[in-house]
Structure 1
Amino acid sequence: MILIADSGSSKTDWRVIRNDGNISQFRTIGFNPYYQTQEDMISGLNTPYLLELKAEIREVYFYGAGCTSTANKEAVKQAIQSIFPIDAIYVDHDLMASARATCGHQAGIACILGTGSNSGDYDGERIISSRPSPGYLLGDEGGGAYIGKHFLQDFIYDDMPPEIRTAVLRIYNLSIFEIQDNVYKKPFPNRYMAGFCQFISQHKSDPYCYNLIYNAFRDFFHRHVMRYENYQDKNVNFVGSIAFYNNDILRKAGADFNIQINTIIETPIAGLTLYHQQKI
């Protein structure tokens, strides 16, 4: 049996391709070697779903946020080997997952807009060029943490419309002290900031919320897509909840920059499953 994982900072989608062709799926917490130790990842992998498969899995394909450097890939591989003591464990970054899921074997620009953001120019087999992805403190334009950070800044400085601020206080009972505590003291501040995107998306009929999302996408296009050679001649594809649930704004921003947006999907796991099924 083959086990496939698509892991972001917030969640991991798993698919099992059984020898008879049947497919099962489940979800666990997310894993990111930039923000978690190997011990943290091992602890998170010790779930009933995975332990039940321990004796049957022969290959693991793990695509994850932060799995770019050799050291990070090895840390994730060793964590997985603590559950599945096999050699056939292949760890790659989430950008490759996005490319394989949306482009298959065709060329295009693959992008991620989830909790964080990333992009790469894909030739149908490999990523031939990519932009820096320095994380939520220094980058992640267009991603949930980026949008949430600007939203929280506007709340702190009282730079949002009164009706939006009133709704925020009613729903979240926010205070600057609570925000600082979650951002500077508690784990996974990127998830915390991205968590406000549900509210923002639900209120995108309001010009303030619409522009928060639009401007974040504009920044993403400027820093990422528009830096690739001949980007206007290539299909641009997106994976991630921020792109998926705000696809109307994303397509509008793309059209404003003459960018050809093709596929927008919430998660790459279905496309990855098809990709690996074809290789069996």
Structure 2
Amino acid sequence: MQIIADSGSSKTDWRLILVDGSIQQHRGVGFNPTYQSSEEMTKLLKDDFLLNIGQDVEIIHYYGAGCSSEGMKSQVEASLKTIFDHAEIFIEHDLLAAARATCGREPGIACILGTGSNSCDYDGIEIIHSTPAPGYVLGDEGGGTYIGKKFLQDFIHQEMPVDIYKRVKEELSLDYNEIIDRVYKQPFAGRYMASFCRFISKYKSDPYCYLLFYNAFQDFFKKYIFKYPDWQIKQVNFVGSIAFYNSDILRNAAAEAGIHVNLILESPIAGLTLYHKQ
């Protein structure tokens, strides 16, 4: 049997393909070797679903955020080997997951808009070009952390509409000291900032919340899409919760930018499962 895993900074989708072709699935915590050590990832992998099948898995196709270098891939492989010590393990970047899930074996541009953001130009076989994605401190335009950061800045400086500000105080009980502690002292600051996108999506009919998404998507296009050759004639695909749950805004922003959007998926795992079953 084989496992296909798609792991972002917030969650991991696991698909187990049994010998008879049937599929089991599980969702667990996310991993990112950019921010976590092998030891930290190994602790998080102690999941009953994974422990119970560890000795039966023969092949693992793992696609993960942060797996862009051999060093990062080795770090993830070392963690997986603690459970799947008999398996042959293939580690790939989550960008290739997005490309294979949305484009299959056809060329196109594949983008990730989840907690973070990324993109690539794909020729149907491999990634031929990608733009640097320096993470939530220096980048992640269009991703949840980027949007949440702007939201928190506006809250701190009281630069959001009064009615939205009141709702934030009432529904989220936010205060300045808590924000500073969570962003600068606690782990997973990116996840924390991205978590506010649920609130923003809830009120996206409000012009302020709508524009938080819309402007972030336009920033993403400028930093990434517009830098690929012939982007005007290529189909552009998206995966990730920010893209999926705000697809109406994303399609509007893309149309005004002259971008041809094809698929928008919450997660690439179904497409990856089909890709590997074929």
Give the TM-score taking structure 1 as reference length.
0.99
Residue aligning to 1:257: 257
SS at match of 1:137: helix
Deviations 1:21-62 (A, max 9, x none): 010000110000011110010011111100110121000010
The alignment status of 1:153 with 2:179, answered yes or no, reads no
The alignment status of 1:247 with 2:247, answered yes or no, reads yes
1:14, 1:213 → 2: CA distance? 29
Residue aligning to 1:40: 40
1:14, 1:82 → 2: CA distance? 17
Between stretches 82-91 and 198-207, larger displacement belongs to 82-91
Deviations 1:192-247 (A, max 9, x none): 00000001011011000000100000000000001100000100000000000000
2:86, 2:120 → 1: CA distance? 30
- Structure 1 stretches of 5 or more lacking a match? none
1:9-48 equivalences in 2 (<5 Å): 9-48=9-48
Residue aligning to 2:176: 176
2:4, 2:249 → 1: CA distance? 31
SS at match of 1:63: strand
- Structure 2 stretches of 5 or more lacking a match? none
Q: CA deviation at 1:88?
A: 1.1
Residue aligning to 1:132: 132
1:236, 1:182 → 2: CA distance? 35
Between stretches 43-52 and 81-90, larger displacement belongs to 81-90
SS at match of 1:52: helix
The share of aligned pairs that are identical, in percent, is 58
Deviations 1:75-102 (A, max 9, x none): 0011101101135100001000000000
1:54, 1:179 → 2: CA distance? 40
1:151, 1:205 → 2: CA distance? 16
Q: CA deviation at 1:14?
A: 0.2
Residue aligning to 1:62: 62
Q: Tell me which amino acid in the other structure corresponds to 2:254.
A: G
Residue aligning to 1:225: 225
Q: CA deviation at 1:157?
A: 0.5
Q: CA deviation at 1:172?
A: 1.1
Q: Tell me which amino acid in the other structure corresponds to 2:267.
A: T
2:262, 2:129 → 1: CA distance? 19
> Is the Cα contact below 8 Å between 2:13 and 2:26 reproduced in 1?
yes
1:101-112 equivalences in 2 (<5 Å): 101-112=101-112
2:126, 2:272 → 1: CA distance? 15
SS at match of 2:136: coil
Give the TM-score taking structure 2 as reference length.
0.99
2:143, 2:63 → 1: CA distance? 18
Residue aligning to 1:141: 141
SS at match of 2:158: coil
RMSD (Å) for aligned C-alpha atoms: 0.6
Q: Which runs of 4+ in 1 moved over 4 A?
A: none
SS at match of 2:138: coil
2:86, 2:141 → 1: CA distance? 38
SS at match of 2:165: helix
